[in-house]
Structure 1
């Protein structure tokens, strides 16, 4: 896998027309391969695509000091952002050309605290991909320790052009 490439300026973002020409899987593969910029939020939150296939994606990430809350623990939003991104991207891999998605709702369960510098993998799988909605589930696990740090699920609405 090439080094992650995340948009840092609006002109680096792929146009809607360019994205509409690809299936969701082709689009996610283009991000994975570095041919198209990934979402700016991934750079800010320090996670990147690790695997992409139809109905499943894995991101890897490493929380940093800047992701801590005022109490010194990892902010729950870091877990949520990683899960929301992976879950949505898994859904994206099932979409035909011209279709999009957005999160309708998602749920996150934190099972243990993560420390800055811990490399994790967030794996998300589509459970249902229908005409108007899709459902996916995911986990965040430590790469070295294999421990479960969080689980999540989403329902996405499918947007057809």
Structure 2
């Protein structure tokens, strides 16, 4: 399977028409297979897609020094970005062809400090998917799953294309 790639130019991102032509699950599976680009933020935040199934996605990455706050700790925005990605992409897997979604709200809870360089996995799972809304949760853990570093939740609206 080809490695996922990260768009370097706007032309490498799929058009809205391309996005609406397939289901959200197919879109996410194409991203995992390297047929569609990860968004540029994936390179900025140092993460990549790891797994996709209906209602569930996983991303892996590690914070770097460039992701720290003025005190040297991993910036809360890094946690938030990865959790928001997993939450939204989990919702994307349940969006039907011809529709799209947007986030209505999301919440992040940081439970402990994440040391720079720690490889993590963030998994998003859909709890509810209706015709017009979806709810998802996510956990950000070290790869051995022993330590929980942050959790998140979201409510998204599903809209016709």
Scaled by the length of structure 2, what TM-score is found? 0.97
Partners of 1:35 and 1:2 in 2: how far apart? 8
Q: Within 5 Å, give how 1:1-161 maps onto structure 2.
A: 1-144=1-144, 146-161=146-161
Runs of 4+ in 1 over 2 A off after TM superposition: 1-4
Partners of 1:160 and 1:130 in 2: how far apart? 13
Partners of 1:83 and 1:146 in 2: how far apart? 18
- C-alpha contact (below 8 Å) 1:55/1:126 kept by paired residues: yes
Q: CA deviation at 1:43?
A: 1.2
Scaled by the length of structure 1, what TM-score is found? 0.97
SS at match of 1:107: strand
Root-mean-square deviation (CA), in Å? 1.0
Q: CA deviation at 1:131?
A: 1.1
Partners of 2:86 and 2:35 in 1: how far apart? 19
- C-alpha contact (below 8 Å) 1:119/1:144 kept by paired residues: no
Q: CA deviation at 1:22?
A: 0.7
Partners of 1:70 and 1:160 in 2: how far apart? 43
Deviations, residues 74-132 of structure 1 (Å, cap 9, x unaligned): 00000000000000000000011111111110001001101111000001110000111
Partners of 1:160 and 1:117 in 2: how far apart? 41
Partners of 1:138 and 1:30 in 2: how far apart? 22
Consecutive unaligned residues of structure 1, counting only runs of 5 or more, are none
Consecutive unaligned residues of structure 2, counting only runs of 5 or more, are none
The count of corresponding residues between Structure 1 and Structure 2 is 161
